[in-house]
Structure 1
Amino acid sequence: MKIRVGIVGDGQLGMFLCEAAQALAIDTVILTGDAASPAAQRAGAAVVGTMDDAAAVEALADACDIVTYEREDVHPVAVEVLRRAQVAGSIHCHPSLDVIETIQDKARQKRWLADAGLPTLPFVLAHGEDGEAAAAASRLGFPLVQKALRGGFDGRGVQLLRDEAALARAWPGETLYEAHAGEFRELAVIVVRAQDGDLRCFPPVDMTFDSDYSVLEWVYAPSGAGECVLNEAERVARAAIEALNGVGTFGVELFHCADGRVLINEISPRVHNAGHYTLEGTESSQFEQHLRAVTGLPLASMELLTPAAMRNLLCNDAIVEAAGNRAAGRSVDGAVATYWYGKAPARAMRKLGHITATGATATEAGERAAAAYERLTGSHGEAA
């Protein structure tokens, strides 16, 4: 009898999970707001409904053995329904619901990092009272980073307050203030931990972000940082997922600061955009490994087969024109693979697809991806 995995969320991550499940003979059931979404079309079955629809979440739980997620902002209604089903013994949730609740709230995540003795930037929690922004700036200095506690991703829910005058733009309500990392290199380590505790890492990668929107633009695998830095990045990332007792694939985003420290920025309890290169560059993908981990299958090799680079296709006029009415899918031209997610371009800088290229080095792969981007859009897509 096939294992049945329920997936909360129906974006491109869910789509790739469903595709990976087919090769593993795993049945998938996806919770989706749109039965025609690309993720729903790749799933074995779809439950149409939102995360705050208790009946839909109950239907998902009834249809599967294991529940996992392609997003961390799981609605409290869904958490409660899934918890009841798990207590009743009808499903297992991986990562655990406790992990989801800890990670999806940035205040809880930061407190957990600090309590666990894991390296992270200094922070202050604000409750929406007058003077808190100024007090945070006095303690942490400028520039000051403000983060929403829930739902922030792809550059949303984060703002930089550069000086005292900018404090007037501080968001009200409960938020998080964080010290700025200064000059830094952004790294990511994709960590996989199986039910039996087997923990492995894909090679650390470099990330660069769009400067205006703070959305991930480029990934280079492997990272060009020195061996000591990469060893420390992997050590810190492993320690974090061990401390979480997490099961599944996790994206650990890190800062390598100018003073040599390697600090955790954020953890994502799911497959991660920085790991898309594993579809071409490694022996198994992050999506296959996630499914293996949550279902109790043994982990596969995660060896880097070839250096790679990934360029996100972020929604702008040129990308909208290039996307046209393309359905979700993959096309390959030599060392370059182009993916479209089948999304409607609803907002600026939304991820509509990505390009992955391989090469003798990550730099060469980046040049190939940049050239493919230019051919696609008629604009310059220079590697960062």
Structure 2
Amino acid sequence: MKKIGIIGGGQLGKMMSLEAKKMGFYVTILDPTPKSPAGQVADEQITANFFDSEKIEKLVRNVDVTTYDLEHIDIKTLKRLYNEGYEIHPSPYILEIIQDKFAQKEFLRSKGIPVPRYKLVTNLEKDVEEFSFPVVQKARKGGYDGRGVFVIKNKADIEEALVGETYLEEFVPIEKEIAVMVARNKKGEVKCYPVVEMFFDEEANICDTVIAPARIEKKFEKRTKEIATSIVEAFEGIGVFGIEMFLTKNGEILVNEIAPRPHNSGHYTIEACVTSQFEQHIRAIMNLPLGSTKLLTPAVMVNLLGEKDYHGTPKLIGLENALEIEGLSLHFYGKKETRPFRKMGHFTVVDDNVETALEKALRAKKILKVVSEEVSSCRK
């Protein structure tokens, strides 16, 4: 029996594990949380920090292939093991570039990939003068789910700017935020999923709703897939990659960010595509033939975020009423603690008509809530 190691035991690791188990692989998770969501369904869990070199080495040496469900992990150890010949996909050298968002932009630009105008911050007050307000400041490392991003609207906002290593990026007039999942295996076989639209929770700046397929012109769909494919081929990546992009108001496609793993914008594929992004990732890293990415039905995915006034043991309310909505499938991740805006689950609604799917999803969004028995101090 082939063995797969996954660094990261969150929802992505859980859904990867479920697919790997269906295909007959033995799965070991490495995560600091005992009985993590992925650890609940995997064969084995190593409880350790993502920068525990000794435990990461133990994992890699005892499996056939290692992958991961998050970026912020010990690449130094992974690079050493990769150089020794251990199978780690995507490559830790790709991960090293993607961990640093400025390096990521530099790599993309060097390959002729269209990106927003950007500049490394050396002196913030002077650097912002090269852009017109508003301008976006981004942390080079560590940002995710809306963290590490600050919009500087005027000179007064500079006082509130991010500290540490950052860069500036032009504020792009966006028509739509779009994304596409791309898979590539070791043989060089590449497959693209449908392009989707993404909507964000304005308060938390977290992807909130995904609509598949994106309601865009065919020419934009074609261009998006061409750019996404060229990125994964430039990386010589193995696995599934989430490519987030902007469709600008003047019809340009610009790349925003890359995730070297299954991605939130691809959750809809579980119900709506022949092959889910999670099965595809397992196929790709194990160098198996890639599955069909055909969209079987329009779908809308909505993230279930922890309600902002609640912190503690999660409690899902509205389940019975939500499941009365035809075409709705629920995924609750099994996290032990909810907190404001934490991703606790998602649901997907499928329908022959994308607008009807959206209407149903928005109705379900009002019904399903993740709260807790405990209430945070901000509400007491």
TM-score, reference length from structure 2: 0.92
Provide closer, same or farther for how the CA distance between residues 189 and 166 of structure 1 changes in structure 2, counting only shifts above 3 A: same
1:259-293, Cα deviation, whole Å (9 max, x unpaired): 11000000110100000000100001000000000
The answer to whether the aligner puts 1:57 opposite 2:56 as a matched pair is: yes
Deviation at 1:135, TM superposition (A): 2.3
Structure 1: gaps (5+ residues): 379-384
Structure 2: gaps (5+ residues): 371-380
**2:150·2:162 contact (CA, 8 Å) conserved in 1?**
no
Structure 1 runs (4+) deviating above 3 angstroms are 317-323, 331-334, 344-347
Following superposition of structure 1 onto structure 2, how do residues 205-284 of structure 1 map, counting pairs within 5 Å? 205-284=196-275
Deviation at 1:214, TM superposition (A): 0.9
The answer to whether the aligner puts 1:126 opposite 2:125 as a matched pair is: no
How far apart, in 1, do the equivalents of 2:264 and 2:99 lie?
Answer: 17
1:282-318, Cα deviation, whole Å (9 max, x unpaired): 0010000000000011111111000000111111158
The answer to whether the aligner puts 1:88 opposite 2:80 as a matched pair is: no
Deviation at 1:319, TM superposition (A): 8.3
Where 2:289 maps in the other structure, the secondary structure is: coil
1:115-142, Cα deviation, whole Å (9 max, x unpaired): 1111000111124xxxx22222211221
**1:307·1:360 contact (CA, 8 Å) conserved in 2?**
yes
Pick which of 213-222 and 366-375 moved more: 366-375
How far apart, in 1, do the equivalents of 2:279 and 2:172 lie?
Answer: 34
* Aligned residue identity for 2:174: E
Where 1:61 maps in the other structure, the secondary structure is: helix
How far apart, in 1, do the equivalents of 2:104 and 2:76 lie?
Answer: 20
Following superposition of structure 1 onto structure 2, how do residues 1-384 of structure 1 map, counting pairs within 5 Å? 2-75=1-74, 79-89=75-85, 91-127=86-122, 132-316=123-307, 323-324=314-315, 334-377=326-369
How far apart, in 2, do the equivalents of 1:224 and 1:87 lie?
Answer: 44
**2:179·2:245 contact (CA, 8 Å) conserved in 1?**
yes
**2:333·2:344 contact (CA, 8 Å) conserved in 1?**
yes
Deviation at 1:43, TM superposition (A): 1.0
**2:65·2:89 contact (CA, 8 Å) conserved in 1?**
yes
1:56-94, Cα deviation, whole Å (9 max, x unpaired): 11211122011111011223xxx22223323333x2111
Q: How many residue pairs were aligned?
A: 366
How far apart, in 2, do the equivalents of 1:322 and 1:364 lie?
Answer: 34
**2:338·2:344 contact (CA, 8 Å) conserved in 1?**
no
**1:74·1:100 contact (CA, 8 Å) conserved in 2?**
no
Deviation at 1:323, TM superposition (A): 4.7
**1:140·1:179 contact (CA, 8 Å) conserved in 2?**
yes
Where 1:203 maps in the other structure, the secondary structure is: coil
* Aligned residue identity for 1:245: E
* Aligned residue identity for 1:59: K
TM-score, reference length from structure 1: 0.91
How far apart, in 2, do the equivalents of 1:26 and 1:105 lie?
Answer: 32
Where 1:283 maps in the other structure, the secondary structure is: coil
**Structure 1 vs Structure 2: percent identity of aligned residues?**
36
Deviation at 1:376, TM superposition (A): 2.5
Deviation at 1:325, TM superposition (A): 7.2
Q: Corresponding residue for 2:376?
A: none
How far apart, in 2, do the equivalents of 1:321 and 1:176 lie?
Answer: 35
Where 1:28 maps in the other structure, the secondary structure is: strand
Where 2:35 maps in the other structure, the secondary structure is: coil
Provide closer, same or farther for how the CA distance between residues 172 and 296 of structure 1 changes in structure 2, counting only shifts above 3 A: same
* Aligned residue identity for 2:76: E
How far apart, in 2, do the equivalents of 1:30 and 1:338 lie?
Answer: 24
**1:315·1:345 contact (CA, 8 Å) conserved in 2?**
no
Deviation at 1:4, TM superposition (A): 1.0
Provide closer, same or farther for how the CA distance between residues 323 and 12 of structure 1 changes in structure 2, counting only shifts above 3 A: same
How far apart, in 1, do the equivalents of 2:37 and 2:69 lie?
Answer: 14
How far apart, in 2, do the equivalents of 1:162 and 1:117 lie?
Answer: 30
How far apart, in 1, do the equivalents of 2:73 and 2:283 lie?
Answer: 22
Pick which of 151-160 and 337-346 moved more: 337-346
Provide closer, same or farther for how the CA distance between residues 363 and 325 of structure 1 changes in structure 2, counting only shifts above 3 A: closer
* Aligned residue identity for 2:130: R
Where 2:40 maps in the other structure, the secondary structure is: helix
How far apart, in 2, do the equivalents of 1:237 and 1:49 lie?
Answer: 34
Deviation at 1:375, TM superposition (A): 2.8
